[in-house]
Amino acid sequence: MQFPDKSPIAEYTHTLRSRYGETDRMGYVYYGRYLEFFEVARTELIRSYGISYREMEESGVMLPVIHSEIEYKIPILYDEEMFIKVMVYDVPEVRLQTFYEVRTRQSEAVHVYGEVSLCFADTETRKPCRAPQSLIKSFENTL
């Protein structure tokens, strides 16, 4: 997985603890859960910029996933505290591309890398649209 070769314009780290129901028979966090963890971190990143998903949807803009990619390096076990860092490298226009690193205290190395791309879409027409101006300005203010 290739992360951009520049510093992120925004980053946020969300802490979660893996729960029993999120693990498989081997005691590892089930691979499909990581997209849910990414969503939680991404939602909180956007909230940290003063905008909520709910407000975007109520204003007529939704944000469906159009691409995801995950690279698993080290399993995370039941009851481990995870630090899910989400990074944005470019100001979103029609697309929001987010990158992820998941770490724990149990290892210095990254356990999981990820990338998720989302497209801003009009809730009525379901066609791509520009990101809300308030979100664009929030990201631009970090530059």
- Cα–Cα distance measured from residue 29 to residue 124, given in angstroms and rounded to the nearest whole number: 37
Active site annotation includes 122: no
Annotated catalytic residue: which of 5, 24, 79, 90? 24
Dig out the tokens for 53 from the structure. 């998903």
CA distance to 34, 37, 40, 76, 130, per residue, from 82 (Å): 11, 9, 12, 8, 33
Q: Which residues are catalytic?
A: 24
